[in-house]
Amino acid sequence: MATDIVQTHFEFSVPLQEDQNAFAFELSIDPGEVLGGLARALPTLDVEFTDEALRSMRRAEQQVIPSAKADVEQAYES
């Protein structure tokens, strides 16, 4: 059924949850590049946001999947 395909292909966080050591969401911020001037003396800031990225993806899936399924059902009902 078409809605099964939506469920399968829109669940993108499942592979990420299964092997969390296979990826990381990280960002390095150089205050000198962002602010210039005296900020160049500040150290680079490293931010790791893997857990938050996964939470956001799961939340997005909870909204996107039902909406996409409804769209599919509506398209095939007409």
On the question of pLDDT at 42 being above 90, the answer is: yes
Q: What percent of the chain has pLDDT over 90?
A: 54
Quick one: pLDDT band at residue 49, thresholds 50, 70, 90? Answer: very high
pLDDT, tens digit (0-9, with 9 covering 90-100), for 63-73: 999 999 999 99
Quick one: pLDDT band at residue 78, thresholds 50, 70, 90? Answer: low
Contact 32, 42 (CB under 8 A): yes
Q: What is the token pair recorded at 17?
A: 């949850």
Q: How far from each other are the two terminal CA atoms of the chain, in whole angstroms?
A: 16
Instruction: State the angle between helix axes of 50-77 and 2-10 in degrees (0 to 180), rounded to the nearest 10.
Output: 170
pLDDT at 21: 80
On the question of pLDDT at 6 being above 90, the answer is: no
